[in-house]
Structure formats: structure tokens, C-alpha cells
Structure 1
Amino acid sequence: MIEIGKRIRTIRLVKKMNQAELVNGHFSLTYLSRVENQRIKPSDNFIQWVSERLQVPVNLIVNANSDLCLKEIDRLIEKGMQQEFTEEELLFLQLEAQEVHEVIDYIKIYWLLLKYYLDQKHDFSKAREIVEKSKIHIPEYVDQISHASIFHYYMSCGMVCFQAQDYGKAHQYYLLCEAFIDLVDRADMAKYYHKLSQAKRFIHDDMTIALHYAEKAYEFVMELDDVMLKMDVLVHKGILHLALKQYTKAKQCLTEGLEIARKIHDQESEALIYYHLGIGCRDVQKYDKAIEYFVTSERINEKIRPGKNLADCYLSLAEAYKERKEWFTARSYLEKGILLTMEQELHVSFIEMGCLKVHVNKEMTGDWSNYEKDIKNILEYCNEKKQTGIRNKIACELADYYYERKSFRKAAEYYRMAAGKG
């Protein structure tokens, strides 16, 4: 069991209070410091005072009954399926993450923490911290334990990695879920195949693989009364049909998804759908209509939550204006996009923006002198951030550049890199 002093310090930090604010002149800073550093045992009077200052019950500070704690964790699992967690329940989970537990109990605790930050707070930065902390207590591969919470923990980790654009790692986590899929209901199965399809879209060149799992997700969705999930799967299917140049099917899925989004007043999904309707127009070179859709999506995204969807709008608008040779407008969108992707740590989007900026500058000025240096810098960034998929594509582009200039040794070097051997 972690000592009372450490519990007090943890709660104080979560509450964003410094030591002086906590004691408020009622006790000395030296006394508090000695308690937090385990040098003295706090008095009952001190514990009562601290609990009132921190606005938590005394038992959250002095809790020593491990059986009761495990029962409370199981109660929170039941509650988390239907309701949001309170601040006191969050504190309890954060404290229990520091206790000594069996692996299965750590899995339950960290899954609930991830659920809180993903579903309740939409705080992906904090969720990433939780995933990293969980690795201290939970092995990468959990075997000889069979519990549905393992499925949910892996799914949550996959969602965090996917949001961070680490699609390969997200895919690994989703694959780990499969061993436990028989322990969850059909709604969770639908979500699983949907998430797996999303990851496969980014790690496989053959979009029919991702579409296969999207269709599987849709089969489950049609059995459920989950309008939101149905919309998400329809939109994803539309995106995959676009990638396969099946424009009629794509428009059908996206339009059906847009009708649902409007009915349930889901602006984020509306923005995503308008964006991909723009992609369909762009692919058939209807740039004016594409820009119209992209701008609609951009305006909605700027009102709600800046992130990858807004970055995608900036990138696609820059591409569309590049095709129209409106260089300064293209560069303006790229500058906004690069700033956003740096702030949000969207590594793949940042790389895509950087590559497009190189090409815009090259075509605008006709000057190739910085091309090699700029592309090589981007390749270094890809290696630093472990983005091998997009790195290989960029390496192939640079190899083609050298080959056309009969610099065969350099071409061979980058073709090897593109093949994953460099």
C-alpha cells in the first residue's frame, strides 16, 4: 500500500495546489513536507484538515482495505458503461494505479483511466501519458488471463496511438484484441472491426483489405440500435470507396452518413463528410466544387475542435489551390497547417504539409536548388518519429528524382530505403 503522505501529495498535485495553499497557514510547510516525504506519521487532526482542504473524503487518503478497493474498481467498471466518473472516483483510480496489484487489476484501473480521458474529457495528451504509465505494470502481451477488460484496455491503447498517427502501433493493439473478442458483446465487436478497418486503411496499400473489415463492422451495426456508430461506419466506408475510385458508392455512403449527422446535430461528423465529398470532387478535377466542400468543412472544424480534421482541410485546400496555380493562397493554407500540426503533434500531417510546401516552392519559383536538402530533412524527421510508411513513399520520390538525373548510385540508395531496407 502506498503511504498516506504519498496519497496526500498525489491528490494535492491533481488538485493543482502547492504546499502553501494546502496548509493555508494552519500547519507549517515543514510539517507537510515531512508528511509527504514519509518522515513522520500525520496526526488525525492533520488528516481531517487536509481532507477538507482537498475536498475529498478521509477514506480516500487513508484507505487501506485492498479487498474493498478491488470491489470499488469492479463497481466503476459497471458504472463506466452507463455513466461518467466523478472527480473523486478519478482520484481513487489515480491513487490505486500507484498501489501494488495483480496484472488484471492494473488492466482494469488503466482501462478506466483511459476511458475517462478518451470518452469523458477527450484529452488525448493525458491519455497518451496514461498509456505510457500503464506499460510499467502491464506487459505488452497478456496471456493466461481471460477478462473483457483486457479487450477494452487494448482497444483504448489502440485509439490513443491512432489519434497520435502511430497507425502501425494502433494496428498492433487492435490485433491483440482479437484473442478476447468472444468476451464482449456485438456492439463492441462492431466497434472493434471498425477501428481495425481504420488502422488498416493507413498501413496497407490495398484498400480492399480495410473495406473487408468495414463491411464486417457494418454487418454488426445493422443489428444494433446505434445511430452514431452506423454513421461512423458509413463515413469510413465512403472514404474507402473514394480510395478505390468507386465514386458512386462513396457518394451514397457519405450522403447517408450526412443525413444522420444532421439529424443528431453532430457537427464534427458533418465537417468530416463535407471534407470527403470534397475529395471526391477533387479526384475528378472539379476543383471549384472541391474547394467549396473543403471551406465548409474548414469553417465547421475551426468552430469545434482544432486537430487532424482541420489539418486535413488545410492540406487539401493547399493542394487544390496549387492545381489552380494560386501559389500564395496555397502557401497561406500550408503555413496555417504546419503551425497546427506542430501544436497538435500530428507527425504524419506535418510531413505531408512539408512535402507539399517543397513542391509548391519548387513549382512557383522553378528553383530546384533546395529540393534535395528539404526532402532529406523531411526523411530525417520521418525516421525520428518512426513514420516508416510515409518515409518509404518520400524515399521513392527522391530515388526517382536521382534516377531521372542519372545519379544511379544515389537512386539505388533511396530505392533501398523505399523498400524498407535502408
Structure 2
Amino acid sequence: MVGTPATPLCKVQRTPAMTPGGGPKVREEKILVTVRMRPLNQREQAMYDLIAWDCVDDHTIVFKNPNHERPANQYSFDRVFDPSSSTRKVYEDGAKDVALSALTGINATIFAYGQTSSGKTFTMRGITENAVKDIYEHIKNTQEREFVLKLSAMEIYNETVVDLLNRDSGCLRLLDDPEKGTIVEKLVEEVVKDSQHLKHLIGICEAQRQVGETALNDKSSRSHQIIRLTIESSLRENAECVKSFLASLNLVDLAGSERVSQTNADGVRLKEGSHINRSLLTLTTVIRKLSSGGKKSGHIPYRDSKLTRILQNSLGGNARTAIICTISPALSHVEQTRNTLTFATSAKEVINNAHVNMIISDKRLVKHLQKEVARLEAKLRTPEPTSASCLQSLLMEKELKIQE
């Protein structure tokens, strides 16, 4: 895949954020946390597994305690989706508002978290498909702005970062940028032509991802995948504004946590599972520390894994974030489900601080100043007696800015 490495952006200016549609300012906002419970799968049905969890309403999951071995308990979240809920419904209620924030200069991240074979990849593919559709619908209906979309994609496999648009580039390094935070060196960024081109690029990325068979999943994701859509928009050429919105939408499909006793992993699969579990443990630790006092509570170990380092901005930083936790209802997975719900309970207390990100395009600024110079020159040719010296001063100032 031919592409160009991501280039440094102009210095980002941050102003208080507005939600799409001109809603209230986004200052401090908790991560949106939803839970999706899938139906029993064929393996679980073949084992005559019992259903251990029940979605009693749109916000609450209850442990049914089918064998009366554990005390009943319940968990509450921003939204709960039972097995009958469509992916479109999950997107509408659990991701859409966050995803479309990227169109108005607000960084956004959506990721699925859960044990292996709980439906993360299925869910994120649907979320991505719906987000792409709605983004282009918004662009179609916003004729006063010009949009430029760029796609980059990576996977974190055995704690190494690989470019999914250019696997030949090998393992990529993470660098610290004073303006943008953690960046991936030499990551290819492809300019998107239209919605079909974007879908094609996403398809290439998904085909490049590492998958493998385990006892729980014939096509188990063996890496964390991050698809990043950078959206820049500015008013059309005839507008006076020289500032542009600039934001990124991260669509993240995490590999699932694993228990060797259930996956029967060995060799390569065991090594992969070990790296997956370690990075998810770091993510859990970061979430737990952020939920119990945020960055004021002490050191947050973002740098302990590539995943949390790349997603640092989305975890307590300058972004709106939605987490979709996927679970199995089966009694045989009750402990893993409980761990996922505990993670979700912590995540819903994490506070992000999102801002509108704006850049000043050098090209648009020069054009704007040239127009202003032409206007002042025209006025200078037929000045009022008292304004000639003032106009001359303004003209010199504009010309100096252009030269800069």
C-alpha cells in the first residue's frame, strides 16, 4: 500500500469544546461506558451452559446465581444492551455522539473491551461501518465546510507496533511530541478520497491483522488494532476564517483477555496471550488509578505498555471516549464476565477533559493576508485625508506577516 508518512501538524490551539449541534461546552466529562451481552454461542449451547446474567433494564445487569453458589449482585452503566440488541442500536446509544465529535474538532476514541470470544471484533466492525456512514452523511450535509480525511492504522502484536497499511516498515517506534503527545514514527497516513475508498482501506487493515485459532475462538484476534481517522475541516475559500478544526477518531478493537485453562494455548498462542494479558492488565491499572482520584492520585503507568501510551490522550486527557464492554452470559465464564464488569465500573468514573482543536493553515492565512493587502492598497489609492497614514501603516504590517 502506497502512502505518505504522517507529517507534523501545525501548533494546536485549544478552546473550550462544543458538542456537535452547538450543545453545552465539554470541559470535564466522564467516559461513556456501555455493556453488550451476546447470546450463548454454539460451544456454550453444546455444553448446555447456563445463562448466569440478566439485563433487567437499559442500565442494569444482574447476576442470576443459577446454582445459588454466589451472592446475587448487580451492576449499573450508562447503557446496557441485551442479546437482542442490534449493533446499530449499540452504535446509536453507545458510540455515535462520541464518534461524530471528531467532525467538530474534538478528539474521540471508541473501543471494545472484554474476554476473548465475547464479541468485540463483531461489535467494532459494526461501529466502524456505522460511523463511516454517518461521517459522510454529515459531510454531505455540511456544504459550507471543506473536509480532508486521512487514515492510519496499526496493530500492537506481542508489544510491537506494526503499520497495517505498510507491514514492510517493520516495528515502529513511539516518540514523544510536545504538542501531540505520543506519536508513532513513520506511520503511513493515507488521504481518503471518498467513503468507498475509506471502506477499502479499512478492509485492507482488517485483512492484515494477526488472528489465530484457540479453543474458544476459531478466529481469535492476537493483537490490539487501532484505526485512526484524522479529520480536518475549514470554511470554504470565500470565507474570512483561517482556522480549521482538526481531530482524530480512534476506533480500537482490543484483543481479549485469556485464561490458558480455557484457551488451551501453547507455543506461539501462549506467548501472544501473555502479551495480551499484560497490556490489558496495564490498561486496567491505568483505569483504576484514574477512577480513584485521577492524575492527582499519583503516578499513572501509561508508559508500562504500548497500548496505554498510544491511548493516553483518550484516558483522562483531551478526548471524548466511549468504551463498549462485551460479555458472555454463560455460567462457565462468570469470573471473566465479573472482571469485565469490574473494569467497566472503574472506567465510568474516569474523567476526560476534551477541547476543540483548531489549527491555522499557513496556506489559508497567506491567502487571507494577500486579500487584505489588496483591499488596503485599493483603499489607499482613494484615501480620506485623515486615514492615509493609518492605511499605510496597516499595509506595511500585513506585508510583513506575509513575508514571515
TM-score by length of 2: 0.26
Query: When you count strand as a share of all residues, which structure comes out higher?
Result: 2
Higher RCO structure (Cα 8 Å, ≥6 apart): 2
- Computing the radius of gyration over CA atoms, which structure comes out larger, 1 or 2? 1
Query: When you count helix as a share of all residues, which structure comes out higher?
Result: 1
